[in-house]
Amino acid sequence: MIRISRLFTSTAIATMIVIPATAEISADDVWNGFTAYYNAFGLTVDATETRTGNRLTISNLKLSAQFPFDLGSFILTTTGLDLIENADGTVDIIAPESLPLAVAITLPEDVFVTTTVDYRLTGYQARVAGDPDEFTITSRLARADVELGALSITGPKAKDLDFDGTFTLAARDISGETEYTIGDLLVITQDSQMGALAMNGSFTGKDARQGDMQTTMSSTMSDVQSSTRISVLATGIDLMNLPAQLRDGMSIQYASKVRQQTSSQRVTVNGNMVSDQSTNIGKSSSTVGLSKDGAWMKIQADDYAIDYTLPELPFPIRMVASEIIGKFSGPLLKSDDDQEFVYMFDISNLKIADDLWNQFDPDAVLPRDPARLLVDLSGTVRLFADLLDFNALRDAIDNGTKVAELTGLTLNGMDISAAGAQLTGTGAFTFDNSDKTTFQGLPAPSGTASLQMSGLNAMMDNLIKMGLLENDAAFGMRMGLGLFTVAGDGDDTLVSDIEVKPDGQVLANGKRIK
């Protein structure tokens, strides 16, 4: 609901800048441009258009769409907006201070959901400049408030969906710029800034087995910057034909930066607390995208802290990390050639509160130094089907044909450090998918890996001292390590150089173990 309304209000949330127009655009051109984007996203537009001099009034606006896969439909209705043509060839967008939205959703098995949304705008200003095929909106908004109204669920299955809730959103100091390009490919590019955002929600439901359940949540963000670029075909998004549309230029890219954010969530059943969680994050950034080149995502957060309370524990579980990084990219479309993928996560300086440590190590036998969890992988795969071709994937599953095969894997880096022990390593392997007998059904690998371990023997000694590890078990572990490791240069260090040859031989530090 909020995303839809942004197309004619806060899609163009930007600082009001009056630039001499180099071309002229009419109110009708602006509305036709908006309508083209609604249609491209599968929305049907119905509205009353009234022309009075230089003013075009859009009223009784209704947006409707069918959900994919016969999952239902929805209708959104609202009052509308005014478009006023200026003498310099620009157009001002005038939105009412209160923009009520009514939403009706039809779901399978004749379930009907209705609600209202009160969208209030304070200090909204917007101006359009350009020509009918390419125009820019600059605007600013002092404050936006969104409040969810009463939620009604009716129909034969409504008793199974006994659910209600409240939700509010408040944003302030919003500004930015949005560019529209209209042609065979419709492109919208938006850069926006927001001073602060606060969301609060409370949702209740009844469960036949557990009883009354309630979830309350809240979150805040400050100094939010975002950048969005969406390219869609003018003929509209076709979820059943996404591979062809990606090849024809469809793409989505989004990036954001946040200076500070907090969140909390509490769940109760029959008034009794089930879980209580709060999170604080310092500076963070994220990027996500989808195109013919594949899908990608990267998330980075500094000073991450989480507190999690369970009724079974007398204290909250608290964990903090100085930095968390997650990265993924991979192909979506089939190709005769190998395609690259990346998977990496890195949690630095992870600390656990002493209350939790003391539950299993009250005498502080284990070192409580900050931990690190780093796994950095890349490689190549070959796709035999488009991963977004749902019919092809279904046929592959039904027929038992393979969709993809792994052809190469590189361990760019690994660092697992905790409780005084550390494991690091690198490596690279290729895979022969025509040979699945040498390694009992798996593609035959060839390549090398180098691993280094430190503090492992001391950690096992400490676990024995704590009573968490038996002497016999520790002896067996040390014997097993001796098969593929040798002593390193430092105290309590082990190294292992593993080589897998094309003929299936496996060597550890030059000695054949397979």
Give the 3-state secondary structure of 343-406. EEEEEEEEEECHHHHHHHCCCCCCCCCCEEEEEEEEEEEEECCCCCCHHHHHHHHHHCCCCEEE
Taking residues 424-434, report their average pLDDT.
Answer: 97
DSSP 409-473: EEEEEEEEEETTEEEEEEEEEEEETT--TTBTTBPEEEEEEEEEEESHHHHHHHHHHHTSS-HHH
pLDDT of residue 10: 37
Measured CA to CA in angstroms, residue 489 lies from 239, 423, 492, 493, 494 at distances of 58, 15, 9, 7, 8
Residues 6+ apart with CB under 8 A from 3: none
Summarize pLDDT for 467-496 with one digit per residue, the tens: 999 999 999 999 999 888 999 999 999 999
State yes or no: pLDDT of 157 exceeds 80: no
Q: Are 60 and 81 in contact (CB under 8 A)?
A: no
State yes or no: pLDDT of 11 exceeds 50: no
pLDDT of residue 197: 97
Question: CA torsion sign, 224 to 229 to 235 to 240?
Answer: negative
Taking residues 271-275, report their average pLDDT.
Answer: 90
pLDDT band at 165 (very low <50, low <70, confident <90, very high): confident
pLDDT of residue 209: 65
User: Which DSSP state fits 283?
Assistant: S
pLDDT of residue 425: 97
Decide: helix, strand or coil at residue 483: helix
Summarize pLDDT for 179-225 with one digit per residue, the tens: 999 999 999 999 999 999 999 999 888 765 667 889 999 999 999 99
Residue 107 is inside which H or E element, if any? strand 98-107
Mean pLDDT score of the chain, rounded to an integer?
91
State yes or no: pLDDT of 6 exceeds 50: no
Taking residues 129-142, report their average pLDDT.
Answer: 96
State yes or no: pLDDT of 289 exceeds 90: yes
Which residue blocks in 161-235 are alpha helix, DSSP H? Answer: none
- Give the residue among 303, 226, 298, 297 at the shortest CA–CA distance from 261: 303
> Where in the chain are the domains?
21-292
pLDDT of residue 290: 97
State yes or no: pLDDT of 160 exceeds 70: no
Taking residues 233-238, report their average pLDDT.
Answer: 92
pLDDT > 70 fraction of the chain, expressed in percent and rounded? 94
pLDDT of residue 95: 95
Report the C-alpha gap between 380 and 425 in whole angstroms.
20
Residues 6+ apart with CB under 8 A from 313: none
Measured CA to CA in angstroms, residue 235 lies from 36, 43, 49 at distances of 9, 12, 24
pLDDT of residue 159: 67
State yes or no: pLDDT of 512 exceeds 50: yes
pLDDT of residue 208: 55
Lowest mean pLDDT of 8-22, 45-59, 126-140, 328-342, name the range: 8-22
pLDDT band at 163 (very low <50, low <70, confident <90, very high): confident
Summarize pLDDT for 28-78 with one digit per residue, the tens: 999 999 999 999 999 999 999 999 999 999 999 999 999 988 899 999 999
pLDDT of residue 16: 30
